[in-house]
Amino acid sequence: MKQTSGPSVHQEVVREQPTFNKWLVAVCGVFSFGLSYGLPVSMTAMFIDWQDTFEESRANIAVINGVTIGLLMGAAIVPGYLMSRFGPRLTMMLGVVIASLGLFLQLFSYSVDYMVATIGVMGGLGFSMTNLPVIPRMTSTFTKYQSIVIAALTIGTALANASLPYLYRYLIHVYSWRGACVVISVITLNLLVFGMVLTSTVTSRGQPPLVFRAEDEETLEQLTHLEVLDGHQEESSPFQSIVTQVICNDTDTHEK
């Protein structure tokens, strides 16, 4: 006896986020992206203080920031793997904690090698894990204005890089460079809040994502002409809900 079943198409549809939620995600994304670049890059404002404290050459002091920026730009394979394994939220949260801890440990710094291990390795890797999830999250939220979103992220980063050195110098003047690193560590922890909002999957009115399952191609085609509004369906074109995943499973013919 032969039993044949056609292709099974699973269509997952998530309600479109309200405009306010989208712009809230945008603001959090700009702050997260700008600070995750601006905070490590602006460490150059402390070079003279580090040089006076450790009595090292400028080349040795420059290694600290060189390792930080190198890992920020070049360690993307690590957060990329973590994102694919554990998701963007956990990756971002872990990165914020690592970067903040690396900055806080400057309270006990005693050598350039120590700073390379803490600010350089921990800070660079942590900020890389904080930075990488921002772009895919922003572009998936704003499907129509992705170029504007990328431009906003770039502008936010430029403004952070231009303004944060003045904050660093003020903090150094008030608390010394070690105290300034502790304050910056606390500022970095605020990225936890931005990251939670940025990677939030909560939809309108706190409702979970809707899942439609179509057993054939005809039903799937009909789904693309529906708009999901507060739990009921209405005819609408174009389809305004966000399609997050389409998985097609072809069931083979079984003989009994």
pLDDT digits (tens, 9 = 90+) for 110-146: 899 999 999 999 999 999 999 888 888 887 777 777 7
Examine the pLDDT at 227 and tell me if it is beyond 90.
no
Q: How crowded is residue 233: how many other Cβ atoms within 10 Å of its Cβ?
A: 13
Q: Is the pTM of this model over 0.75?
A: no
| % of the chain exceeding 90 in pLDDT | 42
Tens-digit pLDDT profile for residues 56-104: 888 999 999 999 999 998 888 898 899 889 888 899 999 999 999 999 9
The C-alpha angle with vertex 166 and arms to 160 and 172, in degrees rounded to 5, equals 125
Q: Give the per-residue pLDDT at 228.
A: 43
Average pLDDT over residues 220-240: 44
Point out the least confidently predicted range of 68-77, 124-133, 155-164, 193-202: 193-202
Q: Are 161 and 37 in contact (CB under 8 A)?
A: yes
Q: CATH 1.20.1250.20 in the chain: give the residue spans.
A: 19-198
Residue 53 to residue 71: CA distance in whole angstroms: 25
Q: Which secondary-structure segment (H or E) carries 198?
A: helix 191-198
Q: Rounded CA gap, 161 and 167, in Å?
A: 11
The highest-level CATH class for domain 19-198 is: mainly alpha
